[in-house]
Chains A and B, each alone.
Chain A
């Protein structure tokens, strides 16, 4: 276990540096080819050159390599990593003159709530559906689950979100309002985020966010449970006379959930992309919306700061899941 951990950590460091460099190089290329973001701030009436220079220096954009197209700006990258290590992820130019970390911290709770709802929804419902399908393999329930999951996987999340917002939430809310339902129910189906209901108004967006992964989790649970139900140790458990509830629930299901745990690690990356879409559709003031706004305002420094931060979260989450996987399944340590 110790050796596995050490090797995994040693692999982790170059990957993190590599991914950060990739992001750095892309945004640098963007500045080199699109022109200076500071100059673009002022449009037709540029201020004196000294002012521009001062602003550039302030945002760390005064490096000469930004004028040489294709130059990877390694020196700048090393400076940036040093800043990241001190917790400095840059300054926003166009979205209020504030540090990126401050904006992110302000918006993080909403996104964390949204993702938490999505993860709880997709794992609970996904596992239940997967188990139901596996226990009735090739029967009506199983075929139904297969059709629904294929449909969910084929629906891009933004299509699902827009359709749910327009034809699901909005219609349901109108109906609830017309039928004098309690207030909280209509709050839940609000088509946009409501600050007064920080949890309830995130339920529908959370379900949308979790829907695609729900399909994957259901399929994964189904496949691995079917496989495990055929295993010798399950037959032994049955032969001992254990009730089905115990053979399936304790013996087979627990082993079947190992791949699901790994999947949730990969899923965090997808959820980040999904949050970008759901937060845009439902006007949720979270980190995903921040990325969207930064793209719209062409605020390169916010984009690179936020995305680097998110990628770090994703990589660390994956590392944790990998280690967890080794704890859950001892066989993995030797490969």
Chain B
């Protein structure tokens, strides 16, 4: 008998979540709900999301997109132009261009994702500490940031990678992260300084919250928006940076397949007239970078109130 009321009560929470979610949105729209509402209405957001998802799925499941084997090459059909069966033509080695492009996605995206994650975490850590602990900690960390900021990005990356004997996803991402974390640290420091003296932080401290709790529960959530925007843009930029480093000969090398390698190899043949060797990998690279940067810009418009 005691079970009966429990059973009748049980279904209710199951049905509740959807209406509760809607109510919340109308009663007090948080910054996030507000931003999401704005994002949803923009067609460009959906366009860039589709590109990002398509490219990501190419990276994870290349077999889904291209049935051809990128390593199956016939020199006899090298540099053959597009045909109805192979709309992207063949690379100069006679591999299927479409398969090469699809299989070339994963390395670039892996580098970008790994580098962005590393530098975001490290930059946030340095920035938070510098902003939260004024005085000697702030001075030391800020000068430390300046030292890395003083190294021009591409020059530094070329020097680092020139001395790294093994160039793989990990080393390339690490080099990018070592050189790239400074902006996140500076933005983070600024956000922490701005929120640190707000009343709600004072209140939390008065209630006896520890430094760790104040930082994690009160300061970080308020500083997240610009960091997410920057990280999204970085994903795109670092896809381009990886291709650049590979083009310069300090990134990936054969037998890997990446867009940067395809472009570097296609360049001399394109000068002689095989334009497709250059156009297709360039188009994919630019489109991917563009999608991430547009997404970042739209996120900024939606979530970063100062950018409005």
- Cβ contact of B154, chosen from A150, A276, A294, cutoff 8 A: A276
Is B155 in contact with A150, judged by CB distance below 8 angstroms?
no
Question: What sequence of 0s and 1s flags, for each residue 279-307 of chain A, a beta carbon within 8 Å of any chain B beta carbon?
Answer: 01000000000011011101010011001
Instruction: Provide the main secondary structure of the chain A interface.
Output: helix
A177 at the interface (CB under 8 A from B): no
On chain B, the residues within 8 Å of A247 by CB distance are: none
Is B248 in contact with A280, judged by CB distance below 8 angstroms?
yes
B267 at the interface (CB under 8 A from A): yes
Q: A22: nearest residue on chain B (CB-CB)?
A: B147
Determine how close the nearest CB of chain B comes to the CB of A289; give it in whole angstroms. Answer: 11
Is B286 in contact with A166, judged by CB distance below 8 angstroms?
no
A265 at the interface (CB under 8 A from B): no
Interface positions of B from 229 to 282, Cβ below 8 Å from A: 236, 240-241, 243-244, 247-250, 263, 267, 270-271, 275, 278, 282
In the complex the two chains form, what is the Cα distance from A159 to B271 in whole Å? 14
Determine how close the nearest CB of chain A comes to the CB of B102; give it in whole angstroms. Answer: 19
- Could you tell me how many residues of chain A have their Cβ less than 8 Å away from some Cβ of chain B? 54
Q: B282: nearest residue on chain A (CB-CB)?
A: A159
Q: A166-B270, A273-B155, A291-B155 are in contact. Are A30 and B263 (CB under 8 A)?
A: no
Q: A15-B143, A276-B248 are in contact. Are A159 and B263 (CB under 8 A)?
A: yes
On chain A, the residues within 8 Å of B244 by CB distance are: 156-158, 277
On chain A, the residues within 8 Å of B156 by CB distance are: 307
Interface positions of A from 232 to 259, Cβ below 8 Å from B: none
Q: A34-B163, A150-B290, A295-B250 are in contact. Are A274 and B297 (CB under 8 A)?
A: no
B162 at the interface (CB under 8 A from A): yes
In the complex the two chains form, what is the Cα distance from A156 to B271 in whole Å? 19
Q: Which 10 A-B pairs have the closest CB atoms?
A: A30-B163, A273-B154, A269-B152, A18-B147, A156-B240, A154-B290, A19-B150, A154-B289, A295-B162, A15-B146
Give A contacts to B, CB under 8 Å.
Answer: 11, 14-16, 18-19, 22-23, 26-27, 29-31, 33-34, 150-151, 153-159, 162-163, 165-167, 170, 191, 269-270, 272-274, 276-277, 280, 291-292, 294-296, 298, 300, 303-304, 307, 310-311, 314-315, 318
Known: A18-B144, A166-B270. 17 other contacts (CB 8 A): A19-B147, A19-B148, A22-B148, A33-B163, A151-B290, A155-B289, A158-B244, A166-B267, A269-B153, A270-B153, A291-B155, A292-B248, A295-B248, A310-B155, A311-B150, A311-B151, A315-B150
